[in-house]
Structure 1
Amino acid sequence: MSRRLSVLACLVTSIVLTVATATPAIAAPPSDWDYIAMGDSYSSGVGTSGQSGSCLRSPNAYPGLWDSANDPASYRMVACSGATTSSLRSGQLSALSTTTDLVSVTIGGNDAGFAETVLTCTLTSDKGCAAKVDEQLELLDEEIPARLDATYREIRAKAPNAKVVVLGYPLLFDVNAPSCGFAGMSIPKRKSLNHGATELNQVTEERVRAAGFTWSDVTDEFAGHGVCGPSPWLHGLTLLPPTDSFHPNGNGHKYGYLAALNSVLH
């Protein structure tokens, strides 16, 4: 063999070996995967049937639906309603290990003051709503990126072999319907809140990609199914239980979040 061919053969062999050793555990079929679902209420299942416990976890949230459809080797739900990056790091990371193959997570909405902002917009004027969203966007620029970076670093440290999928948040509102029902949001308020969600998703996507994780945007799946629209996949203002307010319903988890998770796993 000539020197040139010999060098080429070594190079090809080196590339093959590198690719082979870099292949993550996720390359195995789902039946072999160890799956951990982490995050906040959008992952725990608030808004769906079957919620239980202080974390309001439901088997009908998208992680449970994925588990039922794929029957992985193991599945554990540790997402919790109200979770922030801080509480995730202190209370959920222990579920991860070197054998974890798949992690899904939604996080950041509570750090950005999601509930407080929606409540303010419900009770105040269009101008007051816009001001509250702008206030939270300053926090988003100044503090949230570092919080997300720290969270993603710790997830990777605890689960070095896992495929980590970070899912975003839907735009809550349909902005075309002139009326949004009793105590519903005006169109300017809906646009302000959707703008806030768009900005949060953009910041999150940047940090997800910087961490080397997989980003899954759910806005396409939820398009046309916002609150106030003809076929909403999210609850509007809900009195019983009030925690369901502005969270995905069963269709939102099945056709929105589950579809978004599947889109990056196949």
Structure 2
Amino acid sequence: MSWIALLLIGVGTVDFAHAILDPLRRIRWVPEAIGAVVVIAFGLLSALFGGDLAAVIVIAGITVLWGFLAHQPQGSADNPRPGLPLALLGGTIFLGILLAPVAGEVAGPVAAWADGAPWAWVEAARPEVVLLAFGGLLVQISTGNVVVQLVLDVAKVANPLDGVDGNNLKGGRLLGPLERLTIFGLGLTGSIAAAGLVVAAKGLIRWPELQSFRGENRGDGEGPSINDVTEYFLVGSFVSWMTSLVTLALVIT
């Protein structure tokens, strides 16, 4: 699973770099270059040489391609083909699972660090699992938001609150990563039931906000309907949860 770990690290790095750099000044190739360099660096630090090194280079290329497909140039319209990056990511992960038996084992400095880490679960886990967990953490931070938006675009579920004053659901960009990190972290510790409580808590917290969009509660009867807002909330939430759970499954299986 070392190849999948590098893929998650690369994709997560690209999306995190976009999240940090895009609000400042978007330079088209910088996040993709950072992601490719990080993939190659982790591949070398994991002592993935020979045939594995060729796979590392391919993964770096896929990381760059993901960045260009999933993130549109500044000033451009919405992604015209949101299904392409999703197909690329899903297909590559599926192929990585099929090729997992031939992927090299993580060794070198990464394995040495995992063996000497002060945390019991890291020391007990195989280096591949530690690398997967690190990639999974990166995915929860930024890639989850990107995947959610791409799925919403594929399903043609637009944000009904765009351009509406007092967008009550805009906090999802921040709450989403926190929620995914919580679910992912609890899952790593074996507390799947506690992760379910996080999901339930989000629904309870958002319920009053969703109810505020009922026609009789809005007074003027204008603006987005509760059906549109609920659809947007549910689709986004389920995709976010699935991103976290699928990543968790890759790590613990």
More strand by share: 1
The two structures share one fold, judged by TM-score above 0.5: no
TM-score (norm 1): 0.29
* Greater relative contact order structure (CA < 8 Å, 6+ sep): 2
Flag the structure with higher helix content.
Answer: 2
* Bigger radius of gyration among the two: 1
